[in-house]
Chains A and B, each alone.
Chain A
Amino acid sequence: KQEVTQIPAALSVPEGENLVLNCSFTDSAIYNLQWFRQDPGKGLTSLLLIQSSQREQTSGRLNASLDKSSGRSTLYIAASQPGDSATYLCAVSGGYQKVTFGTGTKLQVIP
């Protein structure tokens, strides 16, 4: 059974700092990995989708990498801003539309 872990559960950083969020999964036989952000009481917003054949994806200040062999993905946020404060979740799928979510990292960026 796939297990997805996100450490730390919470993170507080000063504005402007570069930061890395981690996502670890136990079964490396995955197809795709997706990063989301969720603001309190809202739905999940897709940030980046990395296909299994890719090593990384970039969107603006965000860069996500995927290392299937080690069961890890990282989300790098450059020059963090208070608006980046949210909970970040990763999700992986090994097929048959079975998707496993991580427990999330709650990020607070302090002005």
Chain B
Amino acid sequence: KAGVTQTPRYLIKTRGQQVTLSCSPISGHRSVSWYQQTPGQGLQFLFEYFSETQRNKGNFPGRFSGRQFSNSRSEMNVSTLELGDSALYLCASSPATGGITVWYGYTFGSGTRLTVV
């Protein structure tokens, strides 16, 4: 059973540019969550998608956005990059079902290391 696949693994971007990160969840998992991890702030929740709908959102500016496709693959986009956006971006897949609120745990991808220069 394939795990969670995140691409690319590494990215270097310049301030002001935009970036798109991709996440393919475990087959059959319909919930995809995104996290930002930095040494100073730890793991920060960005958003969660289920069946192409954003279900939860963290406390990040509107420059951070995401979407989910019908095959459950998800992308997140960061526009107008700032130096402070340099971080490890992690995607987590979960076997959530609609209408049920219970969390059944995460399987994480290896992450995308974004460096903004």
- State which size class the interface on B falls in: 20 to 34
Whether B113 and A97, one on each chain, are in contact in the complex, defined by CB atoms closer than 8 angstroms, is no
Residue B81 at the A interface, CB < 8 A? no
Give the secondary structure class of A's interface. strand
Do B88 and A99 have beta carbons less than 8 Å apart? no
A97-B33, A101-B43 given; A32·B105 CB < 8 A: yes
List of B residues within 8 angstroms of A36 by Cβ: 106, 108
* 0/1 interface trace, chain B 38-77, chain A, CB 8 Å (1 if under): 0000110100101000011000000000000000000000
Interface size range of chain A in the complex: 20 to 34
The distance from the CB of A3 to the nearest CB of chain B, in whole angstroms, is 13
Which of A15-23, A63-71, A72-80, A87-95 is the contact stretch?
A87-95
Task: Let me know if B106 and A99 touch, CB within 8 A.
Answer: yes
Quick one: CB contact mask for B77-104 with A, threshold 8 Å, 1 for yes? 0000000000010101010100001111
**Can you give 20 contacting A-B residue pairs, CB < 8 Å?**
A31-B101, A31-B103, A32-B105, A36-B106, A41-B111, A42-B111, A43-B111, A44-B90, A44-B108, A45-B108, A49-B105, A89-B43, A93-B102, A95-B101, A95-B102, A97-B31, A97-B55, A97-B96, A97-B101, A98-B56
What residues of chain B have their CB less than 8 Å away from a CB belonging to chain A? 4, 6, 31, 33, 42-43, 45, 48, 50, 55-56, 88, 90, 92, 94, 96, 101-111, 113
